[in-house]
Structure 1
Amino acid sequence: MKNVLLTTLLALFAAAASAQTGAVTGRIVDADTGESVVGAVLTVTPARNPEKKQYLTSAYEGSVSIPSLSYGEYGLSVSFLGYNTLDTTFRVASPKVSLGVLKLKPGVQIETVVKEVKAMRTSQKGDTVSYNAGAFKVTTDADVEGLLKKMPGITVTDGTVEAQGEEIKKIFVDGKEFFGEDVTTAIKSLPAEAVERVEVYNKLSDAAEFSGMDDGEGYKALNIVTKPGMRQGQFGKLYAGYGYDADTKTESQHKYIAGGNVNIFSGDSRVSVIGLFNNVNQQNFSFEDILGVTGGSGGRRGGVGQYMMRPQSGVAKVNAVGLNYSDTWGKRDQLSFQGSYFFNNTNTTNRSTTQKWYEAPMAVDTLSTTGYSDTKGFNHRFNARLEWKISENQNLMVRPNFSYQSNDPWSTTQGWQYGESGYSRTDNFNDGLRSGYSLGTFAVYRAKLGKDGRTITLNGSFRYSDSENNATSYSNQLGSLPDRPVTDPATGVWIPDDYVQLRYLRDMAPSRSHTLRGEFTYTEPVAKYAQVSFQYRATYDHQERDKRSYETGSDFSIAGLTPDPQLSNAYESNFTTHRFGPGFRYSKERNTFIANVYYQRSLLDGMVTQNGSEKIRHNYNDVTYFMMGQLNINRENSLRLFVSSYTDNPEVTNLQSVYDISDAQNISHGNPGLKPFYSHRVNFHYVNSNVEKGRTFMWMFSFQSTSDYIATHTVQNPSIEIDGQRYTPNFYSMPVNLDGSRSLMTHLSYGFPIGFLKSNFNVMAGIVYSKTPSMLGGTVDAATGMISGGERNDASNMGYDFRAVLGSNISENVDFTLAWNGTYNEATNSLDASDSKNRYFSHTAQGDLKVVFPLGFTLTASAAYTQYIGFTNDYDSHYTLCNVYVGKKVFRNRRGEIMVGVNDMFNQNKAFARTTGSGWTQNATNSVIGRYYMVQFTYNLRRFGKKGSTNIKDYDGMEHLEGRRRMGPGGPGGPPPFRPR
């Protein structure tokens, strides 16, 4: 009995001892020079379990840190190219163990030999595709955007990054958020030479990543992994230029640009500052419009996310600054912070033209307009992420955000609509001031409850917004008249006096909203590889707006006036949603399957006031689902499939049974019987990465079908009476539910190296199809404003696109990219009796070149030929845009460059767009920057390491071989680098 007791006690003591852990530190240096060795590979082997090896590398100043090793004996092997391997042992028997200074002895000298091998371009682990940045050669002063453009499966268009057919929503740097959701800024703020690799993956939502139960609210993300040697120092780019526009294509002949970015990295502490000031239409920062101050509808119901919009058409003067800061504190990095602040001030002017053809089944008309706009905008926004790792089993994360925006638009539009429906004059003016702020926060608490896979997640969010909208405007009230207007005998221009009856308005529309959301998720393991979950979510959304419109004289004075009841309305709505349901997750090795199903009940309770009060109350019951399957066939092949559904409820403004006659030529009416739409989505991705041959193949497929789609019922040129006044608008419309909305997209992408050209070749081809239903024609009921009768029209569009890119991979001194992309479209309308197709084609052939010659002379050039061809409506618009700059590298390390050149050498730049819809086709043009000459200076800041060397190769932790030429045996005559081809 004593022996049994003694054995049990010894076993317990042994177990307790083995459960204890200690932190191990040390430093790797050169035995001869005492210099730090960065990037040495350490292999740690437990004596009792030699198969459980750990691998790590020495960091800044050769430091080694192993935060947690169980008590016991270990073997240690330290290796690095150019040195003899160091083998030793150590013992962990206390909470802190120091290995001291580990000295690597230089190895045997070898003759200089250069060996060329194919650099590994991509690799794959699970759903993450990793691109080796070293396999894609760009110039030393290129930014991340230039690097991404050469990678297979990735496209960059006007700052929008797409990977595997999906838009990148966030950029991370070394796993930390970088400039929030502003992807455009992020990819222009880091130099390409700082990048070790680029990872593209599916990021789970904040609530789901802790439990592993995918909730379908994730997004495509891109993580930039920096080279270890560039995580300690200062780097960036500063530039300034002055130019002259002799052709005066825009308002100012004098052109200027100044800006840059500075990154200050010190381990986990990182500060990035960006700035941009110019009048040449360079708009690198995204713009946030969550309040709808730019004229949109604002944020969607029930969320706290930020919705970004692209800059408006035209030529902009831009003043913008941004700051991003991140850091980690605590012995175990318990507390981390990432935050960013932006300020944007833009002044955008635009001269536009529109040619819009209404075709069968609509009355055959032509709308021709010209417009001018001058829009001033200010935007402050702040967002942050604070995470507290309370313990290994508990975590708290908070995301605060704040935004203030103002928008001051001034615009005029004149034109004619003429054809089968008669003649009508378009004469509009608007001068507004819209401003508002929004603040909110999101918090999530996550805990593991002892057993692996048993977790609880609690999250909640709050958002409040307040905005003002004051505007003055006038528009023509008269609809179509049958007779052709008379023309001026001298000029031949139509005289519109008899066709214009202007109505002057003063509008004030303050609005407020607040949203509360809470969610609870519990997961429980039911087998070795399986979990079940339960989720409950409640959302409350309150919105209110009080629009008061006054019909004034030409001076817009409202003295003594009361709001016009036909034009004014106020509404208040409360929207409550409850959603709950179970989920299941199975994950074994590298394969995962997830399924969730939810029951959702929504209640809309609103009040609309216009010529009285109207109570709006609706209940909606829905069942939604989400399924995801990840199959990793092997290291080179993976499949990922999403199948999901979602609903979206109509806005209260669409449900109100009142007229909107603010634009007398385009009157609309709400539909109290409108139902929510319900959509099903399928997304499929297949990725093949042949690491040995450097080839990457991707196929993506996406399909969406919507029932009860919220479409538009339009009647052309009706005659209606509203409160005793007769109106003959060009169009009268109301929202209706229609089934049959479809969209499909599939793309193939293939990338591979071409050895004899020392280049990478990427091709992409795809098909995009959409079918959008609508109702056309019918009769307007004078009593209710509802439309009866009419015919359904399905507007379908089939698009075929192809893109090919040849990117050089020769050296840092020769960088070129040749690309061609084209799109062919066929648009049809089901009500068109002739069954004709609106066919049009556009394509662009483009080349970019940067060459650094001996003595530091440079040539930077780009040329693009763009053509738009209409086969149905015969037209051919084309232009060539060519920019050429010659320069000289200056300073000791060629960090500076002076360039002189010309933008748009042939002065042919155009902004042209063709769009189609239900019964119409439109061509539009906008203002552009034309030819101008400029001199520009650029300086690349590079300062790394303790000694502050400005030579990037001295601290490039990933280019080990190149770095060892400096600190390896024999100095510069040490072992040669491997050169990727």
Structure 2
Amino acid sequence: MRALLLVTLVCFTQFAFSQTSSIKGSARDTLEKKNLSNAVISLLRPADSTLVKFSRTNANGVFNIGNLEGGEYIMLVTFPKFADYSDRIKLPAGEELNLGAIPLTPKSQLLSEVIVRANNTIRVKGDTTEFTADSFKVREGATVEELLKVIPGMSVNSKGEVTAQGKRVDKVLVDGEEFFGADPTIATQNIGAKAVDKVQVYETKSEADQLKGIGASGDGNKTINIKLKESARKGYFGRIEGSTNFDNLNNGKVMFNRFKGSKKFSVYGTKSNISTGSLGWEDRNKMGIEDDYEYDELMGYYYSYGDGDSEFNDWSLRGLPNAYTAGALFGDKWREDKNKLNLSYLYNRLGTTNTTITNSQTLLEDTTFFNNSTSSSKGLSQQHSVNGKYEWKLDSLTSFKYTAAGSYRLKDNQTVSYSEALDENNQFVNTNDRTNTGSSSKKQLDNVFTYKQLFKKKNRQLLTTLRLGLIEDESDNLLQSTTRFYKNGLVDSTDLIDQQKINTGNSTTYGAKVTFNEPLNNEWNLVTEYSFNKNVSESRRNSYDRGFDGKYTEYNQTFSNNFDLDATSNSGSLLARYQGKKLRMAFGSGLSAIQLNMKNLDNQTKNKYNFTGFTPTVQFGYNLKTQTRIGVTYRGNTVQPSLSQLQPLPNNSDPLNIYIGNPDLKVGFNHNININYNDYKVLSGKYTYMGLGATFNDNAITQFSTVDSFGKRTYNPINVDGGYNYYLYGGWNSGQSPKKLNHEIRPEINGGRNVNFINGQRNMNTYGTYGLTYTVNYNFPEKFNFNIGPSITRNISKSSLRPTANNNYWSYGGRAYAYVKLPWNLELDSDADFNLRQKTPAFSNNVNIIVWNANLYKKFLKDKSLRIGVVAHDLLNKNIGFDRTINSNFINEQRYDRLARYFLLSVNWTFNKMPGSN
């Protein structure tokens, strides 16, 4: 018995020893660029600041502390005549954490408080840039959105959309978790800047991409993580807002956040006639499910009827809104954070009314059609969204995660429109009166189960993901259209349409992915991955003409289509990853096979398609210095045709523009290459970033258009070569220092060439936009600040079919903001958006939009938490909805409804009860 106990004790000791972690790194002099020997490295417990372990750097300035338990520590680095360095670190269980070179600054260089604060203002750690919130001064009561406006490399437009380091931010996390699902503005516009500890910016990646160490598999957008201070995670905070003009405009918002230990609870609600309730920047609701390229590549093979254009965001808003939103969020952690639960619910309701006036030109080789249209629309969109996530950490090596997201969407809309086309002699070519009325519904449920397994061998890891997606949708639409075609100014023929279109569909998608990382040594890792996905769907699309009895009973086979689809995808990849002290790189490739089996129920035929995908990847990252990094990435990917492009199904929703599919499309291939550079000067606070890249298209899917003498266009997709696009963005920031002028310069270039066919002739359209923005700001904390950012852009478009057409123009814009604190607890802030467009030969009027807003508030109560004031929107009464599109043979200008000048009485109360708050 004693022998058995001894063996058990030895095995347990070995197992416990295998779970120990270690930390290594070096201490470096930022002035003389050399490592420091005998620097003291101390590890403290965050809860009570007790010393856990300490060590000194060796003769080479390197340290290594072993036999540590996984968890959070406060690291303190000290050296004589140098400023102390402290940071909070999280040590994974059973792993070695390499902190790299830790910068220490001589006290002789710390000439002022500004320089002391700048030491930890920005940190570049791998792909993540971290900003210390307290280093950027904002006014009392400011929100996270106002904080982001003063962080280098970030900008926030009037719609609340954030751009970070030249890329759009598509996700905002709070302490690593989504805050009310996929709605970033709820976090940025409601959490106070005072509650924020750090702001982290990094590429949006799936968990599998993080394991592989490569760039994002999507469009390379950015994610912001807002890390709250420990004090903000205790007690409660929130805000209540209300404003009205005592007539037809009202805007109300309430938010309450409660933290009790590991539990958090939030509720949110809005009612507004001036916005959509600030619900999201995304064109679609991601529902908290991570993007997955292999999974999503089958999503293009299902027709969705109930999705519509339900976009609950201000950025895409057209018309006058009437919006309601409500939501709740609950989160909890227990058993030493081994169990985590997050639940959220969000309801959106958006009603809109809008009138759109469109003027456009169709440029053919020897003919120009002038098109004018007016449409009036009324719509109501509703959405219920439920998200849930449960994480269970079985032990230090094994964890499980289950995510479920469901939505139920409803939409009703009616559009009445009139359009006319004129020839160069100002005679009618065609006219159209059309009414589209419809309603749709869509139910969607996505489920993801993730199993993550670590091993005793350092860095060996297995990641398994199972997915199940269910969709049910339907729509019922009425199309009533009268089209008159003219010859020599007289009516030649008339086309009448009076149809009911009933569409139903359902889809089941399931899949599995296994990713395994095998460390070859301390620097090299080999990552293998295999995924299987399958989609089974039904699509019923039927049109009925109106009969003599007034009922829609006459089946129209031309505009009907019914089919069943079975889509299967198999893909695998092999990637080698190297991570050294300065150099990081990854290279490999993936291969996928997609098979589509389609059964046409109308004519009882079967079609089979087979597509092969190829995804080579090469990526390099090199740390030139501690806070200077450069990266180069190449990615190749195949582009499969979507089902709507393959299906030869005419759609007469717009009788003057008929779309027909092409079942003979081939697979396209894109070559993507990009270079990025980041540099931060610790002492001066100067920050520089740059990104440039290009995409070259082989077998790109474009359009073959035919426009007849009556101005009727029929188009279908085809494959062509010769297309490409390129981009460049960058920025230089002089440093964010209070009571000092700060400067930032941001160039931006986008351009390329696409190829299409018009009336059988090949047309190459070369386009480009070249812009430069210069921003200057001054911040006197709690007194006043201003930010002025003018921009200039040159827009170029040239068509080989009409090389003499001049569609080039200048546009001037920018944004200005100012805040001043006045006597008697008064505050005045004002902002203006400028958008000035030069006239073109096609449109002879300059379009200048200047939206100038101002707010005057007075603070009340002892803690100044109550603000009462006046909101003035669009003082110059120049706010109009406007959009201009110029490409190859098509020039288009649209004007639509937007709220112009109004004045509101506003009441705003922010409250909090947290340790350390007043």
Distance 2:239 2:366 in 1: 55
Q: Does residue 806 in structure 1 map to residue 776 in structure 2?
A: yes
Distance 1:213 1:908 in 2: 46
Distance 1:362 1:607 in 2: 44
Question: Aligned pair in 2 of structure 1 residues 192, 366: CA closer, same or farther (>3 Å)?
Answer: same
Deviations 1:234-276 (A, max 9, x none): 11221001115xxxxxxxx521110032222234322232222
Counterpart of 1:765 in structure 2 is 747
Counterpart of 2:29 in structure 1 is none
Determine if contact 2:420/2:428 at 8 Å carries over to the other structure.
no
TM, length-normalised to structure 2: 0.84
Question: Aligned pair in 2 of structure 1 residues 574, 917: CA closer, same or farther (>3 Å)?
Answer: farther
Counterpart of 1:374 in structure 2 is 378
Deviations 1:276-305 (A, max 9, x none): 21111244102877699xxxxxx9543699
Distance 2:607 2:127 in 1: 46
- The one-letter amino acid of 2:363's match is E
Counterpart of 1:141 in structure 2 is 141
Pairing partner for 2:236 from 217, 223, 234: 234
Superposed CA RMSD in Å reads 3.6
Distance 2:55 2:165 in 1: 45
Pairing partner for 1:536 from 530, 535, 543: 530
Shift, 1:434, TM fit: 0.8
SS at match of 1:660: coil
Determine if contact 2:751/2:769 at 8 Å carries over to the other structure.
yes
Question: Aligned pair in 2 of structure 1 residues 847, 525: CA closer, same or farther (>3 Å)?
Answer: closer
Distance 1:515 1:680 in 2: 29
- Give unpaired runs (5+ residues) of structure 2: 1-5, 22-44, 79-83, 85-110, 287-294
Counterpart of 2:107 in structure 1 is none
Q: Does residue 575 in structure 1 map to residue 575 in structure 2?
A: no
Question: Aligned pair in 2 of structure 1 residues 504, 522: CA closer, same or farther (>3 Å)?
Answer: same
Larger CA Rg, structure 1 vs 2: 1
SS at match of 2:486: coil
Q: Does residue 703 in structure 1 map to residue 694 in structure 2?
A: yes
Question: Aligned pair in 2 of structure 1 residues 300, 796: CA closer, same or farther (>3 Å)?
Answer: farther
- The one-letter amino acid of 2:557's match is P
Quote the sequence identity (%).
22
SS at match of 1:193: helix
Pairing partner for 1:679 from 641, 645, 670: 670
- The one-letter amino acid of 1:882's match is W
Counterpart of 2:89 in structure 1 is none
SS at match of 1:809: strand
Distance 1:69 1:578 in 2: 39
Counterpart of 1:346 in structure 2 is 350
Counterpart of 1:786 in structure 2 is none
Determine if contact 2:820/2:827 at 8 Å carries over to the other structure.
yes
SS at match of 1:189: coil
Counterpart of 1:848 in structure 2 is 817
Determine if contact 1:210/1:446 at 8 Å carries over to the other structure.
no
Counterpart of 1:359 in structure 2 is 363
Pairing partner for 2:439 from 421, 433, 439: 433
Distance 1:17 1:584 in 2: 30
- Give unpaired runs (5+ residues) of structure 1: 1-7, 24-36, 56-65, 80-84, 86-112, 245-252, 293-298, 486-496, 719-727, 778-789, 952-981
Distance 1:422 1:76 in 2: 78
Distance 2:399 2:209 in 1: 13
Question: Aligned pair in 2 of structure 1 residues 563, 812: CA closer, same or farther (>3 Å)?
Answer: farther
Counterpart of 1:181 in structure 2 is 182
Distance 1:229 1:314 in 2: 43
Counterpart of 1:734 in structure 2 is 716
SS at match of 2:876: coil
Count, aligned residues: 830
Where does 1:183-202 land on structure 2 (aligned, <5 Å)?
A: 183-202=184-203
Q: Does residue 750 in structure 1 map to residue 732 in structure 2?
A: yes
Shift, 1:549, TM fit: 0.9
Determine if contact 2:114/2:737 at 8 Å carries over to the other structure.
no
Determine if contact 2:825/2:859 at 8 Å carries over to the other structure.
yes
Deviations 1:417-447 (A, max 9, x none): 1115951102111111011110011112121
Question: Aligned pair in 2 of structure 1 residues 773, 236: CA closer, same or farther (>3 Å)?
Answer: same
Distance 1:510 1:767 in 2: 44
Distance 2:634 2:694 in 1: 10
SS at match of 2:735: strand
Q: Does residue 394 in structure 1 map to residue 390 in structure 2?
A: no
Counterpart of 1:819 in structure 2 is 789
Counterpart of 1:510 in structure 2 is 504
Where does 1:615-654 land on structure 2 (aligned, <5 Å)?
A: 615-654=606-645
- The one-letter amino acid of 1:169's match is D
Where does 1:272-287 land on structure 2 (aligned, <5 Å)?
A: 272-286=266-280
TM, length-normalised to structure 1: 0.78
Q: Does residue 942 in structure 1 map to residue 912 in structure 2?
A: yes
- The one-letter amino acid of 1:707's match is D
Moved more, 530-539 or 693-702: 530-539
Q: Does residue 907 in structure 1 map to residue 877 in structure 2?
A: yes
Where does 1:846-885 land on structure 2 (aligned, <5 Å)?
A: 846-873=815-842, 874-885=844-855
Distance 1:359 1:69 in 2: 65
- The one-letter amino acid of 1:632's match is N
Shift, 1:624, TM fit: 1.7
Question: Aligned pair in 2 of structure 1 residues 869, 604: CA closer, same or farther (>3 Å)?
Answer: same
Question: Aligned pair in 2 of structure 1 residues 733, 76: CA closer, same or farther (>3 Å)?
Answer: closer
Counterpart of 1:314 in structure 2 is 319
Question: Aligned pair in 2 of structure 1 residues 49, 865: CA closer, same or farther (>3 Å)?
Answer: closer
Determine if contact 1:767/1:800 at 8 Å carries over to the other structure.
yes
Distance 1:456 1:180 in 2: 27
Determine if contact 2:203/2:215 at 8 Å carries over to the other structure.
no
SS at match of 1:875: coil
Determine if contact 1:235/1:942 at 8 Å carries over to the other structure.
yes
Counterpart of 1:34 in structure 2 is none
Determine if contact 1:47/1:75 at 8 Å carries over to the other structure.
no
SS at match of 1:909: coil
Distance 1:286 1:75 in 2: 36
Shift, 1:153, TM fit: 1.6
Q: Does residue 838 in structure 1 map to residue 807 in structure 2?
A: yes
Counterpart of 2:584 in structure 1 is 592
Distance 1:703 1:387 in 2: 39
Where does 1:99-138 land on structure 2 (aligned, <5 Å)?
A: 117=115, 119-120=117-118, 121-138=121-138
Shift, 1:820, TM fit: 1.6
- The one-letter amino acid of 2:411's match is N
Shift, 1:915, TM fit: 0.6
Moved more, 688-697 or 581-590: 581-590
Question: Aligned pair in 2 of structure 1 residues 423, 852: CA closer, same or farther (>3 Å)?
Answer: same
Distance 2:75 2:481 in 1: 81
Where does 1:539-578 land on structure 2 (aligned, <5 Å)?
A: 539-552=533-546, 557-558=551-552, 561-578=553-570
Pairing partner for 2:451 from 436, 445, 448: 445
Question: Aligned pair in 2 of structure 1 residues 13, 924: CA closer, same or farther (>3 Å)?
Answer: closer
Higher relative contact order (CA 8 A, sep 6+): 1
Deviations 1:482-524 (A, max 9, x none): 2336xxxxxxxxxxx9876542111110111121111122222
Deviations 1:369-391 (A, max 9, x none): 11111110001112233221111
Distance 1:545 1:352 in 2: 32
Question: Aligned pair in 2 of structure 1 residues 889, 77: CA closer, same or farther (>3 Å)?
Answer: closer
Pairing partner for 2:899 from 929, 938, 946: 929
Distance 2:776 2:835 in 1: 18
Counterpart of 1:892 in structure 2 is 862
Shift, 1:823, TM fit: 2.2
Distance 1:418 1:225 in 2: 59
Shift, 1:937, TM fit: 0.2
Distance 1:219 1:458 in 2: 25
Where does 1:598-609 land on structure 2 (aligned, <5 Å)?
A: 598-609=590-601
Counterpart of 2:462 in structure 1 is 456
Determine if contact 2:204/2:216 at 8 Å carries over to the other structure.
no
Distance 1:389 1:805 in 2: 47
Counterpart of 1:247 in structure 2 is none
Question: Aligned pair in 2 of structure 1 residues 641, 77: CA closer, same or farther (>3 Å)?
Answer: closer
Counterpart of 2:91 in structure 1 is none
